[in-house]
Every structure is written in C-alpha cells, then in structure tokens.
Structure 1
Amino acid sequence: MSGSEAESNMGAPRRGTTGEGAFQALMMAPSPDVAAQLYEELGLSQRERLQKDAAQAAVEERQRLAEVLRQARDFSGAARLLDGCGAAALVAELYVQGGRYVDAAEAWLRAGEVERAAAAFERGGAMERALEVYRGLGAREAMAHCLVRLGRPYEAAQLYRELGQPHAEVEALGGVPSGDPRHLESVLRMCKLLDAEGFTRRALALLADTMRGSETARADPALATEKARLLRRMGMDAEAEAVIARLPSSASAPESNGYHYLKAIPIFGELSLDDMKDLYRVARQVLIPAGAVLLEKGTPGSGLFVMLEGAVDVFSGPEAEARRLNTLGPGAYLGEISLVQDAPVSAQVRARTAVRALRITRAGFQHYLDTHDAAALRIFRLFTHNLAARVRALST
C-alpha cells in the first residue's frame, strides 16, 4: 500500500465498528469527500448507530456531519442531524430531497412557511393534516381538493359552490356514491348546474340514468319536477318518457364541458383517471369577448387555454398588418408550453367571436405538479418527447 493510500484510509471505519467509532472516524477524515465515501461504505445498522450518537454531539459537529451525509446523498439523515439546530427551512428542503414529505411539512411549519407545509403534507399523502393547514390559511380551493382526495366529495362540492366554480362542483358531486343519503340531492344539484351552463341534454341523461337505476329516485318528487322542467326545455311534451327510453346510450355527444378536450392534449396523454380529474378541477371556465387578446406575442406565457366555444385568430404579431396564421375553434388549445417552460409567447391570439374556454394558470399547474409526483413525471416525459419530435421535424 502506498503512503497516500494509507493516509486516505486512516480512521476508516471497519465492519463491526461501533457507531461512536464511525462518528469519530468521519470527523477525522482528511476531507468531506473522503468522509462521504466512508459513510457510504457503512452498513445500515452502523449508519443508524452513528446518527444516534451524532445526535448527542455539539451543534457544530452535527452540522459538519450533516454536510457529509448530504454529499453521500443521505438527505433524510442530514435533515435529522440538523433538526433543532435553528435551520428549519434547510431541514425541510433536505427532507423533500429524501422523499419524506410529511417530515418536510413539519419542518416548513417550524420555519413559518405554512403554504409550503400544506403542499408538502398533500404531496406526502397526509391529507387530513393538509386540510387542517389549508383551513388555517383560508385556502378554500385547496381544501376542496383535499376533501375530494379524502373521499368527501359532497363537502368539496359545497366549497366549490362558495367559490363560484360550477364545473368543479359538478365533478365533486359526481363522486358522491349512490349509497350516500345525499346522493339524490347531489344529482339534482348537478342537473341544475349542467342546465345553467348550457348542458341540458347531459343533465337530462344524468337524471334519466339515476331514475332508471333506483326506485327511490323514481319516486322522488324533486327529481320528477326537475325531469319535467328539463324535458320542457328540450321541447318535449307528455310522451317525453318514451322518447328518453328510445335514446341510445351513445346519443349525440353533449355540449363539451372541456374535460375530453383537456384529456386529448398530448402532454397529458399518460395521466391516470384520478390525476386527470384532479387536473380538470384546476381549470377555470372563462368568457372572453370578441376582439380581446388571449395571448400577446413577446410577453411571458400565462398558462393554457382550451377552446370550448367560439373562434380565435392566430397572427404573426400584434401589428395591424400582421399575417393571420390560423383560425382555431372548439377543441384547440393554446399556451401549453408555458405550463412547463418559461418562454415568451410566439404569436398574437385574438378572439374572433365571443369565446368560452378552460384556463389553467401557471401557478395552478405548478401546485398540481408539486402535489402529483407521478403525474409530473409523465407530463415532463411526454413534453420532452414532443419537443424532441419538433426539433427533428425542423431539422429534416
């Protein structure tokens, strides 16, 4: 063995070395890199003993060892060593890196970063704690999202109603199970909301399906009254029940509520049903008057627009003489790149007619990514693939 090798191995912990011995060896290592390598070579039980002994050491020694653990990528171990040393924000970041989101959330609370704590609780699946913190913040939209994930859709729907978000309220009410005593009340509310939004046929189909599947629903006077009202709006009369019975289950597609348009966007192509529904709840319906600018060329991207009704013109720039590049209608989407990439808008988009659209802001989408790890991975993977395909197309 050379002299340099002997020096680099000086104090190296051997198998069977106690945690206290390993702690001293790491403290005596000639450099943090060497110490990190020595730590990586320890067995699990040795690392646990070392951390237990180090927790009783002086703050300065704990901080030095925590840096060694960071270099060895034991982020959670480093966080535990620093916990109580007055660096709660750093501890939280380390716990996030180690995938311990609930511990990170508790650290964010100690650091006074309450919003980050709530998001970390949600990301870690501690939905009751997330709900509690969001309630303290008065963040009713986030509370509603937690309630959906907790299997409490009726409560979520009430919050969405207070927030004036009818499409999210409908989605939440759709999760109220048939065995719930509030199921029929939920169906009735959904029908009224759908009709008010212009989806009368969809409301009637929902009501007819509910009444076919339940004797209680067929005998409910409120549902019968609502059915009559919807049939009158559809131009039907006393024989409407026979007309409804003859409608095929695959009757002409109802007016779009945007969900299927959103689902069809390529970067969302691998999302699970639950993740897709959560993303849809992030979207907001917006009404844009004719002549208004949706996207202004050269300005920072503001998020995604999904066209539901109306038409927009896409121009090469904001100038009066700018060339019109395209006209887009229902099902088209604009600005999806700004959700995952900070880049200026590449064209000028103006409403040709009055437009109804779904909108997802960058802030709303970022919170969605922060609380949906698997969805975020799939979205970024597809975005990268699509971007590579565009580059290849331009180079051929």
Structure 2
Amino acid sequence: MAGSESEVPESSGERAGAEGTLQALQSLMGLESAATAARLYEELGAAQRERLLRDAALTPPDVRQRLAEVLRWARDFSGAARLLVGCGEDARMAALYVQGGQYVDAAEAFLRAGEADRAAAAFERGGALERALEVYRGLGSGEAVAQCLVRLGRPYEAALIYRELGHPHAEVEALGSVPAGDARHVESVLRMCMLLDAEGFTRRALALLADTMRGSEVARGDPALAAEKARLLRRMGMDAEAEAVIARLPSQSSSPEANGYGYLKAIPIFGELSLDDMKDLYRVARQVLIPAGAVVLEKGAAGVGLFVLLEGTVDVFSGTEDDARRLNTLGPGAYLGEISLVQDAPVSARVKARTAVRALRITRAGFQHYLDTHEAAALRIYRLFTQNLAARVRALSI
C-alpha cells in the first residue's frame, strides 16, 4: 500500500547515509569550508535534509551553531533556526525564521529574546492577530492595537482607541467599517457626522447621512439621524429643508412608555435621583432603532452601556454558539447592560433582537460625563448599585 514518505520506516542504508552526510558536513566545517559544506547540503533531497536536521538536533550546541551557519549559507533559514533551539540565541533564531517566512515562530523567538515590539509585528505579519493584539496591549501601543482591531473586524473598539488618541481621521475610517446590522451603527454614523462637521466637511457629513438613510428603512425612521440631518442643514443655511426633515418624523406620544422616561426612572440604581438629576440623565439618553436579528450585546465583549427597551423584543442566550440555550425573552420596559455603566466587566450573555427594536440608550462615555458633573447623583447611584450587588450575591449563596 502506498503511503506518505513520513510513514515509510527508514532503512539502515538511509540512516547511515544521513549520519555520513552529517559527518561530512562536520569535517568540512572543521576545515572552515562553510561554502563547500553548504553546497553539499544543497544537493540533498528534502527527505535527506529532514533526517540530517533530526540527527543534528542531538549534537552539542557549539556544533549546531556552526551547522546553522552552513544552512544559512545554503539559504535554508528555517532549518538553521531549528538548529539554534536551546542554544541561547533567540534573537538570531528569530531573524532566521523571518528570512524563512515563518513569522509566528519568529515572533515566539523574539518574545524569548525580550524584543516584544518585533514579536508583535511578526505575529501580525504571520496572521496571528489575537496574539499580536495581546502583545501590543502589553506594550501600550495604542495605534497598533487599533489597527489590529480593525483587521480583526472590531472597528468600533478601534474607533474608541483612536478617539482617546485624538486621531479624528483614523476614528472616522474605523467607524465607517461598522456594519449596518451592528447595534452601534447609528451611533457610529452620528459620531462620524460630528467629526466631519468639526473638520469643515459638513457636505460630506450630509452625504454620509443621506447614504445611511437611503440604504435602510430603519435608519430612515431613526429620530437621532433625522435630528442630525436637520442640524447639518441649518449649519449650511438651509432652514426650510431642515424643518421639512423634522416634519416628516412620526409624532411621538408624551407617555413615559413612548419616550422611555418612566422606564428609565424605574431602574433600581436610579431610584434615589432627584427630579432635576433624573431629567438631566434622561437628556443623556438617545433613542436607537435596532433591526431584527442584530446582536445587541455579545457575551464576553466589553460592555457598551445601558439599553432600555421601548418597543419590540429581544432574546437572551447563554452563549454565542448557534445552539446556545435561550435564557429569556424581554420586551418593553426591560433594561440591559446597566452594570457596564459603573463596572468594567464583560457582558455575561448574548442578546439578540427578535423583532425590530426601539430602545433608549446611554453610552458608557455619556454616563461617565454625567457622573463627573453630578456628584450627588453619582454617590446615590453607586450606593444603590453596591446594595443591589450585595443582594444578588446573598441570593446566590442561599
């Protein structure tokens, strides 16, 4: 039966041949004939070279270091790097792996050599983006982290980093990659419009809004997008057009159920806020429309703030797998993600829109600004949050 070469046992002749070639190479090295030894190595077949490398790995470090130089001459860079394992020459090994195109192996060697920056670049070049991201974060390389996040398909997270770094152009580019089905799409479009307008590109911001609203019925009915379009039109002196945009918006009932104020007020951690503080908090919130099937919160991801459901329903799942268990179905009045407002912790479940959803949203950044400017309210919120957390712990321990 035919088999692969690695499955065929070596004959005594093949073993003797490999050992003889190794001895010949060592003799040539003794005569300081590295170039001649390299030519002898080049004449070997792939299987012979592999057997020689396995035998050479058993020789003392000084022999392997000299053999590695022969293989470098022969341009078998990866083979030369293998011979340096355990020789204390990780930096040299890494450079050889780079020459051989084995970037992930090179990255691991760079890490052992204490060259984390070169390791991260090698991981990224080799496609090991999660490993690269981990190393870049350890180095505090914000821009490199953001670039990795974009390549990993996580543009919104990248945009947040660019915002911290004060790079509006890069932030706009990252936000432009947030897909229409993402729960943060509308927020991303609004942020891009603000940045473009601030840089003097008001017409480009209007064009972006027009494209967004043209491409989605949900976006066309989003009051936040319409309000931004009206603001930009007024900035350009087009007051009549701005009023026409506002006039096309569906009228909103003033009941708490329609505008979300009553639902927001009922959340336990806001239970001691004064009327003025509660009204200020409500002004921080923005209405968002989430299409059916969109993921609102992803298990294990960083929390993105509070969602209060006004219309529609969402399903809560135990995990991200297709067969994950459905834990609950929530409708108007339910709220999600309140813990992420005051605690930096990963989301504990996956939440997906079962139907089109209208929700009130408070982002972490908006809430933090509210806390920074409302000291008394912040103390009340943190006290109630601590009490509620303690009650949950007690309930779990019974």
Residue equivalent to 2:24: 25
- Rounded Cα–Cα distance in structure 1 between residues aligned with 2:113 and 2:119: 9
AA aligned to 1:162 is E
Residue equivalent to 2:100: 98
**Where do 5+ consecutive residues of structure 2 fail to align?**
1-12, 246-398
AA aligned to 2:98 is V
Moved over 3 A (4+): 14-18, 239-243
Residue equivalent to 2:381: none
Q: 1:226 to 1:55 in 2, by over 3 A?
A: same
The answer (yes or no) to whether the contact 1:18–1:49 under 8 Å persists in 2 is no
Q: 1:33 to 1:15 in 2, by over 3 A?
A: farther
Residue equivalent to 1:107: 109
AA aligned to 1:233 is R
- Rounded Cα–Cα distance in structure 2 between residues aligned with 1:15 and 1:200: 75
Residue equivalent to 1:129: 131
The answer (yes or no) to whether the contact 2:233–2:241 under 8 Å persists in 1 is no
The answer (yes or no) to whether the contact 2:104–2:126 under 8 Å persists in 1 is yes
- Map 1:199-348 to 2 at 5 A: 199-239=201-241
Q: 1:16 to 1:58 in 2, by over 3 A?
A: closer
Q: CA deviation at 1:97?
A: 1.3
Q: CA deviation at 1:102?
A: 1.2
Q: CA deviation at 1:20?
A: 2.4
Q: CA deviation at 1:177?
A: 1.2
The answer (yes or no) to whether the contact 2:111–2:119 under 8 Å persists in 1 is yes
Query: Which residue among 148, 151, 170 is the counterpart of 1:149?
Result: 151
Q: Deviations 1:282-331 (Å, cap 9, x if unpaired)?
A: xxxxxxxxxxxxxxxxxxxxxxxxxxxxxxxxxxxxxxxxxxxxxxxxxx
- Map 1:63-102 to 2 at 5 A: 63-102=65-104
SS in 1 for 2:149: helix
Q: 1:119 to 1:189 in 2, by over 3 A?
A: same
Q: CA deviation at 1:73?
A: 0.8
Q: Indicate the RMSD between aligned Cα atoms, in angstroms.
A: 1.9
SS in 1 for 2:240: coil
AA aligned to 1:25 is A
Residue equivalent to 2:169: 167
Residue equivalent to 1:39: 41
SS in 1 for 2:179: coil
Q: CA deviation at 1:94?
A: 0.9
The answer (yes or no) to whether the contact 2:25–2:37 under 8 Å persists in 1 is yes
TM-score (normalizing by structure 1): 0.56
The answer (yes or no) to whether the contact 1:23–1:50 under 8 Å persists in 2 is yes
The answer (yes or no) to whether the contact 1:17–1:46 under 8 Å persists in 2 is no
- Rounded Cα–Cα distance in structure 2 between residues aligned with 1:241 and 1:78: 73
The answer (yes or no) to whether the contact 1:15–1:42 under 8 Å persists in 2 is no
Q: CA deviation at 1:237?
A: 2.0
- Rounded Cα–Cα distance in structure 1 between residues aligned with 2:188 and 2:241: 27
Q: 1:233 to 1:33 in 2, by over 3 A?
A: same
Q: CA deviation at 1:67?
A: 1.0
TM-score (normalizing by structure 2): 0.56
Q: CA deviation at 1:173?
A: 0.5
- Rounded Cα–Cα distance in structure 1 between residues aligned with 2:16 and 2:174: 57
The answer (yes or no) to whether the contact 2:230–2:243 under 8 Å persists in 1 is no
